[in-house]
Amino acid sequence: MIDCGTNSIRLLVADASTGPTGAPQLVDVVRRMEIARLGEGVDRTGRLADSALARTFAVIDEYAAQCRELGVERSRVVATSATRDAENREVFLSGVAARMGALPEVLSGDEEARLSFLGAASVLGEDLEEPVLVVDIGGGSTELVLGAAGGVLAQYSMDVGSVRMKERHLATDPPTAEEIIAARADVEDHLDAAHRIVDLARTRTVIGVAGTITSVTAEALGLERYDSAAIHGSTLPLAVHLNACDWFLTHPVADRTARGHMHPLRADVIGAGALVWSQVLDRVVRELRREGRELEVVTTSEHDILDGVALALA
């Protein structure tokens, strides 16, 4: 399974089996992530840049070779926000098809949201209070999915993400107060629309997935190196997450890059992603307080849309 996102390209090779309940379960063979920034400039130009396509095709060549070496029997390639938005997406799709032998699927925002929830829900603990709000912040879009053990209750995909918000609003390093205000207002407008579909006041547990949130969690945990095992399933106080978001947003790229857990190619957009994450959390807090409830902790999962795609194929 390959997920071609706006910022990163990810590979999951897994063995599938049937679990005790009859549902499919996965055992990882290989899990990789490379940052190619396929969506660089798409928010402004509406097109995939030649340089971004070249970076992405180089990663796909590596992944295709590894899949052949491992004898992968079934594969699925999906593309998300940047590809949805690009008027020249056919160049990308045909290039990937030539390398993988299969045409990538361009997921709708709703399908992306559903698969993100499926991936996260596959490893959620049974003791989590429902409904669960899964938040997936990508480079170009953010998915909000409210669900429970029975499946998705409501979902919404917003055209805000770490790359899109960085390119649209946060030009200064670190961003100015005026830039931050404009970016927060943009996210808030999208949350207004989202809340009409996904009733955030019903949230009882928040699960954050994907690179922005796992990076914020690594900072919140004080990790010297990125450690998936420490990050996955971690439940931290809300204030700790918000403090980590503020740190990324207010420090320059050089300081972010110096963090041992930070992927150097994510450092320039992590501030924008952290802004989106903090704004989503703030909105959930406000909606819950109207119902006399508080959001005290946030949980992070390393399992997301990539796992959802694999489970759907299984």
- Same structural domain for residues 63 and 138? no
Q: How far apart (Å, rounded) are the C-alpha atoms in residues 38 and 163? A: 10
Residue 311 lies in a domain: no
Residue 114 lies in a domain: no
Q: Using alpha carbons, list the distances in angstroms from residue 86 to 35, 38, 40, 48.
A: 19, 10, 11, 6
- Same structural domain for residues 238 and 283? yes
pTM of the model: 0.90
- Same structural domain for residues 101 and 180? no
- Same structural domain for residues 37 and 144? no
Percent of the residues in the chain that have a pLDDT greater than 70, as a whole number:
96
Residue 167 lies in a domain: yes
Q: Residue 25's pLDDT is what?
A: 74
- Same structural domain for residues 123 and 156? yes
- Same structural domain for residues 168 and 83? no
Helix, strand or coil for residue 76?
coil
- Same structural domain for residues 131 and 94? no
Q: Residue 307's pLDDT is what?
A: 81
Residue 312 lies in a domain: no
What average pLDDT score do residues 86-106 get?
91
- Could you give the number of structural domains in the chain? 2
- Same structural domain for residues 179 and 282? yes
What contacts 101, CB < 8 A, 6 or more positions away? Answer: none
Domain ends where: 106, 141, 161?
A: 106
Domain ends where: 42, 72, 106?
A: 106
* pLDDT surpasses 80 at 165: yes
Helix, strand or coil for residue 101?
coil
Residue 313 lies in a domain: no
- Where in the sequence is the domain holding 219, given as residue range(s)? 119-306
Q: How far apart (Å, rounded) are the C-alpha atoms in residues 301 and 73? A: 27
Domain ends where: 106, 133, 168?
A: 106
Percent of the residues in the chain that have a pLDDT greater than 90, as a whole number:
68
Q: How far apart (Å, rounded) are the C-alpha atoms in residues 69 and 71? A: 6
- Same structural domain for residues 79 and 200? no
Q: Residue 129's pLDDT is what?
A: 87
What average pLDDT score do residues 270-279 get?
97
Per DSSP, 86 falls in state -
